[in-house]
Amino acid sequence: MSFLPQLVFLIILIGAGWFLSKRVKFLRRNILLGKNTSRNDQPDARWKTMLLVAFGQQKMFKRVIPALLHFFVYIGFLVINLEVLEFVLDGILGTHRLFAPFLGGVYVAAMNFFEFLAVAVLVSCVVFLIRRNVIKVPRFTKPEMNGWPTMDGNLILIIEIILMVAILTMNATDQILAERGVGHYLALGGLAFSGLIKPLFEGMGDGALIFIERFAWWFHIVGILAFAIYVTYSKHLHIFLAFPNTWYSNLKPKGEMPNMPEVTNEVNMMLGIPTDTPADPPAEIGRFGAKDINDLSWVNILNAYSCTECGRCTSECPANITGKKLSPRKIMMDVRDRAEEVGKSIDVGGAGLEDGKSLLGDYISKEELNACTSCNACVEACPVNIDPLSIILQMRRYVAMEESGTPAQWNAMFQNMETSFSPWKFSPSDRFNWAEKVKDEEMK
- For 311-363, the pLDDT digits (tens) are 999 999 999 999 999 999 999 999 999 999 999 999 999 999 999 999 999 99
Instruction: Give the CATH number for residue 343.
Output: 1.10.1060.10
Specify whether 405 is located in the same domain as 344.
yes
pLDDT computed for residue 87 by the predictor: 87
Specify whether 161 is located in the same domain as 204.
yes
Answer whether residue 105 is part of any domain: yes
pLDDT band at 1 (very low <50, low <70, confident <90, very high): very low
Specify whether 130 is located in the same domain as 236.
yes
Answer whether residue 56 is part of any domain: no
Answer whether residue 375 is part of any domain: yes
What's the rounded mean pLDDT across residues 426-430? 78
Specify whether 311 is located in the same domain as 424.
no
Given 202, 230, 247, the domain boundary residue is 247
Specify whether 204 is located in the same domain as 178.
yes
Specify whether 93 is located in the same domain as 195.
yes
CA distances from 278 to 5, 37, 58, 262, 295 (A): 64, 18, 42, 11, 21
* Residue 346 to residue 355: CA distance in whole angstroms: 10
DSSP E strand boundaries for 6-102: none
Specify whether 209 is located in the same domain as 289.
no
pLDDT computed for residue 211 by the predictor: 95
Each residue's pLDDT tens digit, 173-223 = 999 999 999 988 888 888 889 999 999 999 999 999 999 999 999 998 999
What's the rounded mean pLDDT across residues 133-157? 95
The pTM of the full predicted model, rounded to 2 decimals, is: 0.89
Answer whether residue 398 is part of any domain: yes
CA distances from 231 to 47, 148, 154 (A): 25, 14, 13
What's the rounded mean pLDDT across residues 219-228? 91
- Residue 46 phi/psi, 5-degree rounding, is -70, -40
pLDDT band at 264 (very low <50, low <70, confident <90, very high): confident
Specify whether 108 is located in the same domain as 192.
yes
Answer whether residue 265 is part of any domain: no
pLDDT computed for residue 116 by the predictor: 94
What's the rounded mean pLDDT across residues 162-169? 93
Nearest to 368 by CA among 342, 387, 341, 395: 395
pLDDT computed for residue 144 by the predictor: 96
* Residue 67 to residue 142: CA distance in whole angstroms: 21
Summary mean pLDDT of the chain:
90
DSSP state letter for 297: B
pLDDT computed for residue 416 by the predictor: 85
The SS3 assignment for 35 reads strand
Answer whether residue 116 is part of any domain: yes
DSSP state letter for 364: B
Name the residue range of residue 434's domain.
Answer: 414-444
Answer whether residue 36 is part of any domain: no
Share of the chain above pLDDT 90, in %: 68
Given 190, 221, 247, the domain boundary residue is 247
pLDDT computed for residue 277 by the predictor: 60
User: Helices 105-130 and 64-80: crossing angle, nearest 10°?
Assistant: 140
* Residue 315 to residue 137: CA distance in whole angstroms: 11
The SS3 assignment for 278 reads coil
Sign of the alpha-carbon dihedral angle for 207, 210, 216, 219: negative
* Residue 237 to residue 231: CA distance in whole angstroms: 5
Element housing 29 (H / E):
helix 4-31
Specify whether 98 is located in the same domain as 216.
yes
pLDDT computed for residue 259 by the predictor: 84
* Residue 164 to residue 161: CA distance in whole angstroms: 5
Residue 281 has pLDDT above 70, yes or no: no
Each residue's pLDDT tens digit, 49-103 = 999 999 999 999 999 999 999 999 999 888 887 788 888 888 988 888 888 888 8
* Phi and psi based region of residue 104 (left: phi greater than 0; alpha: psi -120 to 50; beta: remaining): left
* Residue 200 to residue 217: CA distance in whole angstroms: 18
pLDDT computed for residue 272 by the predictor: 79
pLDDT computed for residue 113 by the predictor: 93
Given 227, 247, 267, the domain boundary residue is 247
Other CB atoms within 10 A of residue 406 CB = 17
User: Helices 328-347 and 4-31: crossing angle, nearest 10°?
Assistant: 110
Answer whether residue 258 is part of any domain: no
Specify whether 387 is located in the same domain as 372.
yes
pLDDT computed for residue 282 by the predictor: 54
Specify whether 310 is located in the same domain as 348.
yes
Specify whether 80 is located in the same domain as 207.
yes
Residue 276 has pLDDT above 80, yes or no: no
Query: Is residue 165 a contact partner of residue 125, using CB atoms and an 8 Å limit?
Result: no
pLDDT computed for residue 444 by the predictor: 66
The count of structural domains within the chain is 3
